[in-house]
Structure 1
Amino acid sequence: MKAAALFRRSSPEPQTPATDKVGGKGRPTPTRKEAEAAARARARTPRTRKEQAAARSAARGDASRRMREAMKTGDDRFLPARDRGPVRRFIRDYVDSRFSFIELMLPLLLVSLLLGTTGRQGLVQIGNTVMFTTIMVIIVDIVMLRFRLRRELSTRFPGQSTKGATGYAVMRSLQMKFLRLPKPQVKIGQKLPETYR
């Protein structure tokens, strides 16, 4: 009886569910498309110093190109810091929309110099008068620009910093209109928008 019990087949043990492999990667295997995209990204990443320098140079070149384009179109995102923002954009439009005697400065000074080289006392006197009158008119124009601009800025941008606004406006108005950068976006006499944001 005991021997029969010894050779009797025992009941099979209940199987335990398979556990995860210890030390596995813990994520699904990437598809071929994902693996190729990752390889392309790694290939684009500069590794050596030479590649990093080339990448920095390319980025600087791209930024310069965008800035040059913004100087023509007035795109505020890529302008230099000194030209960026609604206050500076309004100042540019305000200066560009008004006729300024400063724009006549170069031609009048050239005439006065030509008259001064004639050697005739009367023409030299006229040349000096033209030069003196031009300088006085420009000074009066700058003073008027300053007061009118400050009034406009306080009305349109209350509470905002307008530091350096007058100097920015004067430097822009001293340039001939076709030489100004960023390029003028308004014509002389054009009505300006009520809001700049």
Structure 2
Amino acid sequence: MFGRKKDQAPAPQAAPAPDESMDRSKDPRSAKGVPTPSRKAQEEARKRPLVPNDRAAAKVAARDARREEQARMRRALDTGEERFLPIRDKGPQKRYARDFVDARFSLGEYVMFIALAIVVLTVVIPTRNADGSANNTQIYVFGLFWVMVAGVAIDAWLMSRKLKRKLIEKFKSVDQGVVWYGTMRSLQFRRLRLPKPMVKRGEWPS
């Protein structure tokens, strides 16, 4: 009599109420009705390839980058901005060498113009006089040329010795190639030097 009726089914249990904290549709950070993407999906969306898949676009980007770098370098050669100068012109000792050379007068500045004038004279001056005798003027011109070469060499040597002494006084040592760098600059015409001179003649660096 106390037995349970076989045909009586157990009462169905009520389904648990949904956890509103797990309902992504109510997340204020997500759009209405759109589930919030997982962290992995967000990281993948933020990733950008270092090299574009389109090779043509990659070439255009590389060309634009080169042009921008060249433009910065040209501006640095005009303004002396250390950051964008070519490697051969970077460094405090090379900056000092440029200022030292630009502050002085060098015979080597005009060696190319004098050499060109001598070449023109050798073409214009005849080798013989009107009476058929040898014209020695060209000999004198070539002699003047070699005197000029000797003068330029002596001036460059004296300048390099003084530059080296000044570098040691200021920096306690001399980097390799700095003295030669200054010597080669002294052989260039002042207006054509790159980087452009930042000091006037007689404005010696401290």
Short-chain TM bin: 0.7 to 0.9
Q: Greater CA radius of gyration, 1 or 2?
A: 2
**Which residue of structure 2 aligns with residue 51 of structure 1?**
57
Asked if 1:109 corresponds to 2:120, the answer is no
| Counterpart residue number, 2:38 | none
CA contact (8 A) 2:99 2:204 kept: no
Normalising by structure 2, report the TM-score: 0.69
Q: Note closer, same or farther for the CA distance 1:53–1:104 as it changes in structure 2 (3 Å cut).
A: closer
Q: Which amino acid aligns with 2:22?
A: K
The whole-number CA distance in structure 2 between the counterparts of 1:170 and 1:97 is 13
The answer to whether residue 196 in structure 2 is matched with residue 183 in structure 1 is yes
Structure ranking higher in helix proportion = 1
For residue 76 of structure 2, what is the aligned residue in structure 1? 70
Change (3 A) 1:27 1:109: farther
Distance 1:123 1:105 in 2: 21
Q: Could you say what the CA RMSD is over the residues aligned between the two structures, in angstroms? A: 3.1
Kept in 1, the 8 Å contact 2:104–2:202? The answer is: yes
Q: 1:132 to 1:162 in 2, by over 3 A?
A: same
- Distance in 2 of aligned mates of 1:134 and 1:27: 86
Equivalent residue pairs, number: 166
TM-score, length-normalised on structure 1? Answer: 0.72
> What pairs with 1:136-147 in structure 2 (closer than 5 Å)?
136-147=150-161
How do residues 22-101 of structure 1 correspond to structure 2 at under 5 angstroms?
A: 28-29=29-30, 46-101=52-107
Q: Which runs of 5+ in 2 are unaligned?
A: 1-15, 32-44, 129-134
Q: Deviations over 1:84-125 (max 9, x none)?
A: 121111111111111001122123223332333312523212
Within-5 A mapping of 1:144-183: 144-159=158-173, 161-183=174-196
CA distance in 1, matches of 2:99, 2:57: 43
